[in-house]
Structure 1
């Protein structure tokens, strides 16, 4: 069937916000609807979206999302998704389960690569094999462990055990579920670990038949590939095989309540923890359907006014109340459900404060509705929202468009309804002009007069993890005792069959069906980013990047510094967090934030550390301050930055205490969800000076520092921060980068010297009364040696084996070892080894066979180290052995040249990722600071193409030999620690782990 006759055009729209046209097609035979947004973006994207409405919390939609990608009719492989990961140049490749839909998107800047992924993904969702063994692998299964005890495992099962270990995740789930008790949203589409084992294979199959049909699909296409090419491909490859058989399914609306309700839940914590101020209390309102897009924009603006930053009135009122330490993990506007939800509350509180928190929120809203908003506050919020929509952001634009399309399309409205921001914003401004108290009326109608409100209290239960574990063990022991001989035999046979399925190599002829790019398809030359450079001083320079930034100007200041005292190192993270949040003399922090919103797109500050490639012994340490402003009003924003640098102040002790508490709560809430990050940093700190300071600033050490600082005198702490800030911001050691149009970069460049003069005067004034950090050498430390900037940093003192004890139902296992250093002959081959491991052996051993959500390997040649880490992992010792075994297997035989070519395609393809103007300017700037010029980049690119199977084998053998001295760090719960201690088969022999209690 030709394209013209296979589809009907339902509607078209001009979409000026996206410089394109949207067209909605209907595939006549299958009933599938296809929306194509055609514009000039070369980073094309597609997505297959299905309405998937769960009827329980078995996680069937989530398990199906995993399993459809484990083999299909045309690609009957163990894991076609993994094959794509091995050799695609994708900029996005994944799948996501939402509460009422499942989405399979991919993006790529290379046309053929995108169609390759679409061919595999389309066959996966419409024609999956759905083998029983793969259902058990991805979902849940019973099996016997090494002690012949019965256990439950499965990738989704273990993933959700990790999710249900996080207080923040539990709070988020309960807040949304509490408002929808009469709809399918009351279920967890991801799966509740207590319920997942109830799902049968038959129910799993039935769910796919019910929902994964083109009639129930919404297909999104985006970019510069012509619609006809897409449509002909979809018809030929997939849609032409189906007849229309069902209607698109939409979630029911929730009947409204006549009075608010209260819900309570618990979250697991380690028994050793201090449980005071560890609860969260959140108020949630059900608003209106998200298909009312103009109303949704108005609600997002109201949310920005109320909660957009630390100085926003509702945020400030909650923090100033002293009833909690930080905003609750659920706050603001949720738009991924059929009806919008607004939430506000506090964490770091006590359950008995729930009524006081509710009273504080409601009284603040009443006061705002009665007294009204300062027009400057409202205008700042409007500019902030407009800035957000105007600015080009990192990541595929098609993905952001996809979310806006599905927000309306999934619920029966037009796919283009959410793509008219400019028009909707203009209409809102007109409405606000006609009705100046529009936002105040919205508070009254949507919140104060809305009885459909829930108060959700989540409190810590130190006995929950132990109790649930004992209940599970008792259930499994009883189940073990009740097994008939036939049932036991079946479990053992299924385990053997699954192991065979997992370990048996795929048929090479079938693997060859998967379409891939070849290294010859990837450009040989690196992408070059032009810039202009002129000196500012003996150790500083001004860089200008002329880019099309859509009327936005970006300024980056990087101040070099060197080694600091241990105390000063511990303060760096707090300095970054407090720099723009503390106010100025005569300007409270909320007033300052209001000015930031009015005059800029944002000001940020943080510390960055990276090895200088001109001398691997030296680390370039930078205190970074970044500003973004609109061209038409850049002077306002620039002068606000001048004032900040010239008057930076931390004397508001009450505010500093708030910042500390907020940062501490944020880190406490992030430890378990990001356990791989924290364990990974911890394992690396003893091998590299760079990683030692990174761990000190951003890792577990920082968590411990923040706890101690919270007990200190804030006045003295504020004075220390001021000295540190002025010590780091040495105008003689600053490099400046400006990104924008040529005319605007020239204009701002003429202003920069006056900014540095202001800073120099402030430092001079402070040095007469205070002491700058860093001793006699100052923050510059050792300065420049042999023409290479940076400082030599010693590795940290770290145990070879450390266990980070937290309330986690699964583990995060990290290992770090000595590897090849940058500049050595095998350095590029080590990068290839890392890719081969994470897209091959580690995936198979730790995810497929071990049941973990994932595992990764990373080559850090600039530090001469190599590292492994797993995520939401039911095992620890087994995973550590898998790391070693993977290296042994890779060293045992030479990698297949075809597999090596796929790795090269993936590594070379990173260069093709489109960059936003801001990314391009800042990336080029950082490369210059770190000694990375285009000639070096081209040499590395050529070396990737030249890597041989023999070199891969050499690196694997070197790493295998070094693994016996690996530094290990495991983050997990008490049960996993005991299991690890009992294991005597660890690489390097049995050994005790030093335990660090995290108190989370």
Structure 2
């Protein structure tokens, strides 16, 4: 039996024999048992007799097992104490006295998920692994971390993860640093986050939801070490905990471990309680209905970031049917450009885009509608349009095709169960979305079949109209808030309305406040800060002792099982175009993909290809209006996307650009899987210039949001374009150059729209051709036959002569910095290794893991205060250093330049090397869902990847040696010097850099 297999051949039967309701087993009382068909699991709710810890076990056949422990943690202020605790408890514990056991587990375990998350009212610590012993190891480290953390004896942890003063000399400026502090500077650089917080303050004033659970940088420095410890002791106790187990595991073994090792043992909270009475945990209370007619919050950002938000409380979390129905309503009325309420707002011309979502994982779920790029004086107009349009829909009826489309789309997603991560992690979080508020609701959020069946029945009556009237037109609990951009001098950047202001975000000037703080300090206090920083650095730089390192449980290379066998797709050349057929179980779903060759496109036309992809599904066809098409897609397909991609090729100068059309459907709707994409690519009409302008505006806003929140990804892509032809093409299709194209077209839309539409028609004719196209299908043999019987020739013909020919220019070396409105930076140093003569293989996967979670983590995150950092190795395609939410540029680049020297001296002991190999193989072998596997196999085929490529890389990982890792050091040093640099960040940080960067304004 391989190490990735469970010792239980039938986990559901074994659980049934062990956990009979109303019995006591291994220290637990079994409260209830039920089968949840929606997730193919049996659910057992237990309570630990001694500690009072709650436990939900979802017994099923999934080999990707999971564990999570969560605590109810409602904040009582904006200091972010629970966010800082989330980081801090993972920095060593009583049983595992290492500095960073969390990072050590990433380096040494077979984890398929390992992280922690702070929510507005809870904190969750989930892990997952395909190996049962590994999962037990992970559970032990996480439980000891949350119950017996080193924070009580090591104040430096609080300073490192939370905040501390820094002073290089008595004459130097006083600074603040800390991982969470810098993370939240990045998070609250996003106007959407700031608006959301302002709305929560209006809806739920005086409750936990009115506070910034992540922490507001203005108030994080108000948190004292003593209050930090007190918050842990009051909330991280077992009576306040919620544990979830999931998957194919030996339940008796795991429960016995939990009981004997942790749940029946003393904890830090219980020890602190013995020293003196502890206050109760922070309360979590509902708010009485309140109407905020209009509030205003100011923020230093660009005028384009003006926002208006309209929020409505939907009801109580206990009203499951109502909350799901409200979510369906919001999607049907606001979820696309053809949704009636969104369409009315966009046509009114009061903003650039409208987005909406519902938040159900809280005591009082709410729906939020946000107008982006809002015009001055648009706040009242937004509410007026929303309420007028909703009143009309209540009176005339909500179009049933729109409700049906959302219901069908949701049901596809629920059947697909592709959460993007380990199922057990997502289900643990889902369970808490009801369980946290009701002891009897541990499984309520996991059941949906009956609710959806009931809602389908309600389509024949007035249920949805009545609900819309109650939520919007008769709401007694709602808020209208606008975010007004202001300039550096505090003046309104857009001459917005004169409504009363709340506490303006622009009042926070950290440099001025710190200068004033320093002026109040004595020379002795300044000296103490200098000494404290030196001591913090000493502790950060000290190595873990051998005894500490040996305390961490880990697997060995011998524990690694054989790689799971993947079915190899077959190429069917009898269909209209060659088709890769995948034999992958899909839960009665089907996926169809078509790859269209882009070699017929001139280089200068590539941004138009990006726009063409964005417009597909947004415009009418010769058969359907845009509104009809929107409903048709939602009712029949689980998803549909048009996306340009640049696939790799054997030589670094080679590339294969394609436009990929991907769709998924229930197997009952195979006809639509063939019909709808064909109609869109062959019959879309480019004649609605107003809609094209709207889409361009939405693309611009979405890309700007991405630069603010995921600037490291944009920086890596841009840096790659300085050396890689493939990356240069990507920049034209969806990167900075595409963004510039979109802005330019918008600025000159009236004079350019005719030519743009003509160009799009020409591209449509050239691209959607059978020449060079290849298809892919995943599903049963019966579904495959049905698909091609309906698809026929896919409406494709051979490309006519005279089409263009893609000629990619030679990339131009550069080092650039793009200014964005933010207090932090994203730094990238990236290249194609082949461009600088570096040969890579599987051992680089091990090296990148060592560098990312040892050297870079300690130097850039721990010492430098950046929220994230790493070295990405895509074997022979990409090598990229990056930092994420980084307070400075030059210190990180200097530390990156020393990475090769560190690796060249790297002398891991046997346990360390084994851990790196085990974790690298686990990442390589991590289970993925059918659609993701389909995409991976298609890319391998289209790139010409050898059939044994993944096996070769795996073998090279397993063969890694210390000497082999050290040999890479010289190439890492070259990479850190020769690879180009790209930075996205705030102007002050960029101007303070001495890295010889060409500075470009992007959003400012």
Compute the TM-score of the two structures, normalised by the length of structure 1.
0.91
Which stretch shows the higher mean deviation, 829-838 or 237-246?
237-246
Q: For the residues of structure 1 that align with 2:453 and 2:836, how far apart are their CA atoms?
A: 53
Task: Identify which of 693, 700, 715 aligns with 1:657.
Answer: 693
Q: Report if the CA contact (8 A) 1:223-1:398 is conserved.
A: yes
Aligned to 1:111: 132
Alpha-carbon deviation of 1:794? 4.7
Q: For the residues of structure 2 that align with 1:178 and 1:464, how far apart are their CA atoms?
A: 27
Task: Identify which of 392, 398, 406 aligns with 2:424.
Answer: 398
Aligned to 1:829: 843
Task: Look up the SS of the partner of 2:127 in the other structure.
Answer: strand
Q: Report if the CA contact (8 A) 2:575-2:788 is conserved.
A: no
Alpha-carbon deviation of 1:524? 4.0
Task: Look up the SS of the partner of 1:54 in the other structure.
Answer: coil
Alpha-carbon deviation of 1:522? 1.8
Aligned to 1:785: none
* 1:327-383: CA deviation from partner (whole Å, max 9, x where unpaired): 14xx12111221110122311112311111111111111110111022222222221
Segments of 5+ residues of structure 2 without an aligned counterpart are 1-22, 492-504
Q: For the residues of structure 2 that align with 1:815 and 1:445, how far apart are their CA atoms?
A: 53
Alpha-carbon deviation of 1:911? 3.7
Q: For the residues of structure 1 that align with 2:728 and 2:455, how far apart are their CA atoms?
A: 50
Aligned to 1:599: 636
Aligned to 2:770: 731
| Alignment of structure 1 residues 634-673 onto 2, 5 Å | 634-673=670-709
Q: For the residues of structure 1 that align with 2:244 and 2:570, how far apart are their CA atoms?
A: 41
Q: For the residues of structure 2 that align with 1:37 and 1:248, how far apart are their CA atoms?
A: 28
Task: Look up the SS of the partner of 2:245 in the other structure.
Answer: strand
Task: Identify which of 542, 545, 554 aligns with 2:591.
Answer: 554
Matched, 1:567 2:604: yes
Q: For the residues of structure 1 that align with 2:781 and 2:254, how far apart are their CA atoms?
A: 38
Aligned to 1:997: 1001
Q: Report if the CA contact (8 A) 2:818-2:1001 is conserved.
A: yes
* 1:491-531: CA deviation from partner (whole Å, max 9, x where unpaired): 12211211111100101221122112222222344632232
Shift in alpha-carbon separation, 1:321–1:588, aligned structure 2, 3 A: farther
Task: Identify which of 40, 46, 61 aligns with 1:40.
Answer: 61
Task: Identify which of 858, 865, 869 aligns with 1:844.
Answer: 858
Q: For the residues of structure 2 that align with 1:907 and 1:55, how far apart are their CA atoms?
A: 41
Matched, 1:936 2:946: no
Q: Report if the CA contact (8 A) 2:563-2:925 is conserved.
A: no
Which stretch shows the higher mean deviation, 600-609 or 119-128?
600-609
Task: Identify which of 959, 974, 993 aligns with 1:961.
Answer: 974
Q: For the residues of structure 1 that align with 2:237 and 2:95, how far apart are their CA atoms?
A: 17
| Alignment of structure 1 residues 415-434 onto 2, 5 Å | 415-433=442-460
Shift in alpha-carbon separation, 1:299–1:528, aligned structure 2, 3 A: same
Q: For the residues of structure 2 that align with 1:700 and 1:315, how far apart are their CA atoms?
A: 28
Which stretch shows the higher mean deviation, 65-74 or 402-411?
402-411
Task: Look up the SS of the partner of 2:566 in the other structure.
Answer: coil
* 1:817-836: CA deviation from partner (whole Å, max 9, x where unpaired): 56368998653333322221
Matched, 1:12 2:41: no
Task: Identify which of 315, 322, 326 aligns with 1:295.
Answer: 322
Aligned to 2:44: 23
Alpha-carbon deviation of 1:628? 1.4
Instruction: Compute the RMSD of aligned alpha carbons.
Output: 2.4
Aligned to 1:266: 298
Matched, 1:190 2:236: no
Aligned to 2:761: 722
Q: Report if the CA contact (8 A) 2:682-2:768 is conserved.
A: no
Q: For the residues of structure 2 that align with 1:938 and 1:504, how far apart are their CA atoms?
A: 38
Q: Report if the CA contact (8 A) 1:41-1:224 is conserved.
A: yes
Alpha-carbon deviation of 1:563? 7.0
Matched, 1:322 2:349: yes
Task: Identify which of 789, 812, 817 aligns with 1:797.
Answer: 812
Aligned to 1:142: 165
| Alignment of structure 1 residues 480-499 onto 2, 5 Å | 480-499=518-537
Alpha-carbon deviation of 1:610? 2.0
Matched, 1:98 2:119: yes
Matched, 1:544 2:581: yes
Aligned to 1:754: 793
Q: For the residues of structure 2 that align with 1:417 and 1:805, how far apart are their CA atoms?
A: 47
Q: Report if the CA contact (8 A) 2:828-2:982 is conserved.
A: yes
Alpha-carbon deviation of 1:696? 2.5
Q: Report if the CA contact (8 A) 1:93-1:105 is conserved.
A: yes
Alpha-carbon deviation of 1:74? 0.5
Matched, 1:527 2:551: no
* 1:559-610: CA deviation from partner (whole Å, max 9, x where unpaired): 1222743431122221211112112125221221011112222221001112
Matched, 1:901 2:908: no
Task: Identify which of 742, 760, 764 aligns with 2:781.
Answer: 742
Matched, 1:979 2:992: yes
| Alignment of structure 1 residues 492-507 onto 2, 5 Å | 492-507=530-545
Task: Look up the SS of the partner of 1:827 in the other structure.
Answer: coil
Q: Report if the CA contact (8 A) 2:671-2:786 is conserved.
A: no
Task: Identify which of 357, 382, 396 aligns with 2:407.
Answer: 382
Task: Look up the SS of the partner of 1:640 in the other structure.
Answer: helix
Matched, 1:179 2:203: yes
Q: For the residues of structure 2 that align with 1:880 and 1:725, how far apart are their CA atoms?
A: 44
Q: For the residues of structure 1 that align with 2:506 and 2:541, how far apart are their CA atoms?
A: 33
Alpha-carbon deviation of 1:302? 1.6
Matched, 1:910 2:955: no
Task: Look up the SS of the partner of 1:969 in the other structure.
Answer: strand
Q: For the residues of structure 1 that align with 2:704 and 2:454, how far apart are their CA atoms?
A: 42
Q: For the residues of structure 2 that align with 1:139 and 1:482, how far apart are their CA atoms?
A: 23
Q: Report if the CA contact (8 A) 1:142-1:150 is conserved.
A: yes
Q: For the residues of structure 2 that align with 1:594 and 1:645, how far apart are their CA atoms?
A: 17
* 1:769-812: CA deviation from partner (whole Å, max 9, x where unpaired): xxx9xxx4545x4xxxxxxxxxx84553242x211111110111
Shift in alpha-carbon separation, 1:530–1:861, aligned structure 2, 3 A: closer
Task: Identify which of 338, 341, 352 aligns with 1:311.
Answer: 338
Q: Report if the CA contact (8 A) 2:591-2:663 is conserved.
A: yes
Shift in alpha-carbon separation, 1:633–1:668, aligned structure 2, 3 A: same
Q: For the residues of structure 2 that align with 1:94 and 1:55, how far apart are their CA atoms?
A: 24
* 1:284-311: CA deviation from partner (whole Å, max 9, x where unpaired): 0112121221222221222222123221
Task: Look up the SS of the partner of 1:29 in the other structure.
Answer: coil
Aligned to 1:989: none
Alpha-carbon deviation of 1:950? 1.9
Q: For the residues of structure 2 that align with 1:304 and 1:75, how far apart are their CA atoms?
A: 47
Q: For the residues of structure 2 that align with 1:491 and 1:57, how far apart are their CA atoms?
A: 24
Q: For the residues of structure 2 that align with 1:696 and 1:915, how far apart are their CA atoms?
A: 30
Q: For the residues of structure 2 that align with 1:749 and 1:587, how far apart are their CA atoms?
A: 23
Aligned to 2:311: 284
Alpha-carbon deviation of 1:242? 4.3
Alignment coverage as a number of residue pairs: 952
Segments of 5+ residues of structure 1 without an aligned counterpart are 782-791, 987-991
Q: Report if the CA contact (8 A) 1:30-1:242 is conserved.
A: no
Q: For the residues of structure 2 that align with 1:202 and 1:714, how far apart are their CA atoms?
A: 62
Q: For the residues of structure 1 that align with 2:894 and 2:534, how far apart are their CA atoms?
A: 21
Aligned to 2:477: 452
Task: Look up the SS of the partner of 2:573 in the other structure.
Answer: strand
Q: For the residues of structure 2 that align with 1:314 and 1:565, how far apart are their CA atoms?
A: 39
Shift in alpha-carbon separation, 1:380–1:481, aligned structure 2, 3 A: closer
Aligned to 2:736: 700
Q: Report if the CA contact (8 A) 2:900-2:971 is conserved.
A: no
Q: For the residues of structure 1 that align with 2:810 and 2:417, how far apart are their CA atoms?
A: 39
Q: For the residues of structure 2 that align with 1:969 and 1:748, how far apart are their CA atoms?
A: 46
Aligned to 2:436: 410
Q: For the residues of structure 2 that align with 1:619 and 1:180, how far apart are their CA atoms?
A: 53
Q: Report if the CA contact (8 A) 2:819-2:999 is conserved.
A: yes
Q: For the residues of structure 2 that align with 1:404 and 1:964, how far apart are their CA atoms?
A: 46
Task: Look up the SS of the partner of 2:816 in the other structure.
Answer: strand
Matched, 1:679 2:693: no
Q: Report if the CA contact (8 A) 1:157-1:196 is conserved.
A: yes
